Amino acid sequence: MSLKQLKDEVAHLPLAEQRELIAFLVSMQTEQNDSFKDRLAGKIDDTNSSNWIELDDLQKRFQD
């Protein structure tokens, strides 16, 4: 299956299944890439609220 075919298939998945796929792909990237793993952990552990984003703002950012 080509990447284009895969993308077309994913575009037709229900939103919940798209989110599950996203989580799976992020977990794969995290497992395979130590620098990504460290960067992601740093973002998760960040206690400086000025670096945080509200969920509503994040959703708006990705709707455009």
DSSP E strand boundaries for the chain: none
> What does the longest C-alpha to C-alpha distance in the chain come to?
44
Q: What is the dihedral of CA 45, 18, 16, 29, to 10 degrees?
A: -30
DSSP 8-state secondary structure symbol assigned to residue 13: S
Domain spans of the chain?
Answer: 1-45
pLDDT tens-digit series, residues 7-57: 999 999 999 999 999 999 989 988 899 998 899 899 999 999 999 989 898
Q: What is the pTM assigned to this prediction?
A: 0.57
Whether 64 has a pLDDT exceeding 70, the answer reads: no
CB 43 within 8 A of CB 36: no
Predicted confidence (pLDDT) at residue 60 exceeds the cutoff of 70:
yes
